[in-house]
Copies of this chain bind each other. A is one copy, B any other.
Amino acid sequence: MAGKKQPTQFGFTLQSSDAGARTGILHTPHGIINTPVFMPVGTQATVKSLTPDHLKELNVQIILSNTYHLYLRPGADVVQELGGLHSFMNWERPILTDSGGFQVFSLGELRKVTDDGVVFRSHIDGSQHTFTPESAVAIQEQLGADIIMAFDECAEPHDKEYSAAAMERTHRWALRCQQAKTREDQALFGIVQGGIFDDLRQQSAEYISSLDFPGHAIGGLSVGESKADMLHSIEVVNRILPEDKPRYLMGVGTPFDLIEGIRRGVDMFDCVLPTRLARHHAALTLKGRVNLSKAENARDPNPIDPKCSCSTCRSFSRAYLRHLIIAREMLASTLISIHNIHTLVSLTALLRQSIVEGNFESTAESILEGMK
**Residues of A that sit less than 8 Å from B by CB:** 44-46, 48-53, 69, 73-74, 78, 81-83, 88-90, 298-299, 301, 311, 315-317, 319-320, 322-324, 326-327, 329-331, 333-335
Q: With A and B bound together, what is the CA distance between A317 and B86 in angstroms? A: 12
Q: How far is the CB of A269 from chain B (nearest CB, A)?
A: 23
Pairwise interchain contact B319-A82, C-beta atoms closer than 8 A = yes
Number of chain copies forming the complex:
2
Q: Contacts A51-B334, A335-B51; is A45 near B320 (CB within 8 Å)? A: yes
Say which residue of B45, B322, B327 sits within 8 Å of A323 (CB atoms): B45
A320–B52 CB distance below 8 A? no
Residues of B within 8 A of A316 (CB): 90
Contact (Cβ within 8 A) B49 A320: no
Q: Which residues in B have their C-beta under 8 angstroms from that of A73?
A: 323, 326-327
Do residues A78 and B299 form an inter-chain contact, with CB atoms below 8 A? yes
A-B pairs with beta carbons under 8 Å apart, 12 shown: A44-B327, A44-B329, A48-B329, A48-B330, A52-B315, A74-B319, A74-B326, A78-B298, A78-B323, A82-B320, A88-B319, A330-B333
Query: CA A50 – CA B324 in complex, angstroms?
Result: 12
Asked whether, in the complex, the Cβ of A46 is within 8 Å of the Cβ of B331, the reply is yes
A324 → chain B closest CB, angstroms: 6
User: Does A317 lie within 8 Å of B88, measured CB to CB?
Assistant: yes
A319 to B85, CA, bound (A): 12
Q: How far is the CA of A331 from the CA of B45 in the complex (A)?
A: 10
The answer on a CB contact under 8 Å between A330 and B329 is no
Q: Write the nearest CB–CB distance from A321 to chain B, whole angstroms.
A: 11
CB A56 to nearest CB in B, in angstroms, measures 12
Asked if residues B46 and A299 are in contact (CB atoms below 8 Å), the reply is no
Q: Give bound CA distance, A50 to B49, whole Å.
A: 10
Closest 7 CB pairs of A and B: A74-B323, A90-B315, A44-B327, A49-B330, A46-B331, A46-B329, A82-B319
Known: A73-B326, A326-B74. A320 touches B51 (CB 8 A): no
Min CB distance, A359 to chain B, in Å?
36
How many Å from the CB of A341 to the closest CB on chain B? 15
Q: Which residue of B lies closest to A69 (CB)?
A: B327
Chain B: minimal CB distance from A316 (Å): 6
Q: How far is the CA of A326 from the CA of B329 in the complex (A)?
A: 20
Quick one: which of A50, A81, A322, A327 has the most chain B CB within 10 A?
A: A327
Bound complex: CA A78 to CA B90 (Å): 40
In the complex formed, the residue of B with least CB distance to A319 is B82
Q: Which residue of B lies closest to A57 (CB)?
A: B53
Give the shortest distance, in Å, between A59 (CB) and chain B (any CB): 17
Chain B nearest CB from A1 CB (Å) reads 14
Which residues in B have their C-beta under 8 angstroms from that of A81?
299, 301
- With both beta carbons as reference points, the residue of chain B lying nearest to A91 in the complex is identified as B315
Contact A49 B299 (CB under 8 A): no
Which residues of chain B have C-beta atoms less than 8 A from A327's C-beta?
44, 69, 73-74
Chain B residues with CB under 8 Å of A90's CB are 315-316, 320
Extra contacts, 13 of them, besides A46-B331, A82-B301, A330-B334 (Cβ < 8 A), are A44-B324, A45-B320, A48-B329, A48-B331, A51-B335, A69-B327, A73-B326, A73-B327, A74-B319, A74-B322, A82-B317, A88-B319, A89-B320
Contacts of A299 in B (CB 8 A): 78, 81-82
Contact residues in B for A52 (Cβ distance below 8 Å): 315
A81 CB → nearest B CB, Å? 6
